[in-house]
Amino acid sequence: MAVDPLWHALHAFALRETGMNLSSFVAGPALTGLAELAAAAGLSREAFLQHANHDERSRIALITRVANGTSWFFREWSGFETLLANAKRIRSQTGRNDIRVWCAGCSSGQEAYSIAVVLLDEGFVPHVVGSDIDAASIRRAEQAAYRTSDMLRMPAKYARYFDGATTPVRVSRRVRDCVQFVRHSLFPSGKPPTLVQHPDVIMCRHVLMYFDRTVARNIVAEMQRLVSQRSALILAAIEQTLQSGTTSELVPGPPPSPAAPAVGRTTTQPGPALSLDLTPTKPLTETLAASDAAAQLAAGLQHKQQERFAEACAALRIARFLTRDEHWLAPYQLGVCLERLGDLREAAEAYRHTLLIANNGGTSGLAGDGDVDAMRSSVIAACQERLRVLG
């Protein structure tokens, strides 16, 4: 398929302005967003892109069109278990009940409010600052009104922190009073907004997975410097390969069933990569990233075949990170291996992630991609079945 010549310019804009290394999978919607903004301004797409380089309002509007703000309440529960474990440790070590949390890359507020609810429910006094580069998301966060579909993962006991049972559901005043929002970019430095003072916990989840990997590693390193001996940095499962050792004293949440903890784990190095035949039809950087991902996927599959599930997970996590929302085989295989390790919660997240990609037309991530439609259908069916069983 011919690549729109403006895609490379838009990709470069996002990388330069936000740190995000946009996947070619989002080229369609991102280019549509650019076209709509350009039409509204009476400019050509090229002229609007140029304009956005020096005009703040246009830049902000374009960032809104390329940022992926997908979020929902109580997403990836293991992160909240880790949050609570750390809050309880802080209380027992210091006698303090107030917990300061920076929710970095909070999108339209679901995660920041979830943090406040989980802490309030355990008797803590939360002070949460949610930050995001996307001005439109921050405005929605401040409105604190959501669709019921954003609440599907909410444990029933938290319903009392929300007003109304039909769309729009409003976050209750008590929760809203614990949360502030600010527009702020994590790029290039990962430094916090001035509102954030000595956070006890930084939660930055499903954000850095969209970034250039080197940039993401630097941001994680900066955040690790910020969290003191008494505090914790919590990333999403997909992003944990970015953490090099732990400078923070991070208490993992209770492990789901007999599994290893989801956060603060040291990942095992993947075994030797297999060489795959990748035809370099993309720019060099994309080809290198793709071949890394394909090699990690192949290594993961090999480990899995030999029943080395921990090693398989380490390689598959990297493959999943590198291919972000484009390829579904790595998250699917990760789900299978995590189940074999007994980590059912993260397995369910991996299956959900697989479905998201597969249903949106992503490819397998295998070099040849062969009879991908048949394989995609059976992977979708398998994920649905596993999610039904896992609940």
Ligand X SMILES: C[S@@+](CC[C@H](N)C(=O)[O-])C[C@H]1O[C@@H](n2cnc3c(N)ncnc32)[C@H](O)[C@@H]1O
Q: In the complex with ligand X, which residue's Cβ is closer, 15 or 276? A: 15
Structural element, H or E, at residue 56: helix 56-66
Q: In the complex with ligand X, which residue's Cβ is closer, 126 or 300? A: 126
Which tokens belong to 102?
């920076």
CA distance 321 to 302: 18
Contacts of 180 (CB under 8 A, 6+ apart): 128, 129, 130, 195
Q: Is 130 helix (H, G, I), strand (E, B) or coil?
A: strand
Shortest Å distance, C-beta 373 to ligand X: 28
**Alpha-carbon separation of residue 284 from 16, 24, 27, 288, 291 (angstroms):** 18, 14, 18, 6, 10
Shortest Å distance, C-beta 279 to ligand X: 31
Shortest Å distance, C-beta 65 to ligand X: 11
Q: In the complex with ligand X, which residue's Cβ is closer, 70 or 167? A: 70
Residues lying near ligand X in the complex (CB under 6 A) are found at: 18-20, 67-71, 75, 105-107, 111, 132-134, 137, 185-187, 205-207
Shortest Å distance, C-beta 79 to ligand X: 8
Q: In the complex with ligand X, which residue's Cβ is closer, 200 or 239? A: 239
- Phi, psi (5° rounding) for residue 202? -110, 125
Q: In the complex with ligand X, which residue's Cβ is closer, 69 or 271? A: 69
CB 234 within 8 Å of CB 205: yes
DSSP string computed for 197-227: -S-SEEEE-SSGGGB-HHHHHHHHHHHHHHS
Shortest Å distance, C-beta 130 to ligand X: 9
Shortest Å distance, C-beta 73 to ligand X: 9
Q: What is the DSSP letter of 327?
A: B
Q: In the complex with ligand X, which residue's Cβ is closer, 294 or 350? A: 350
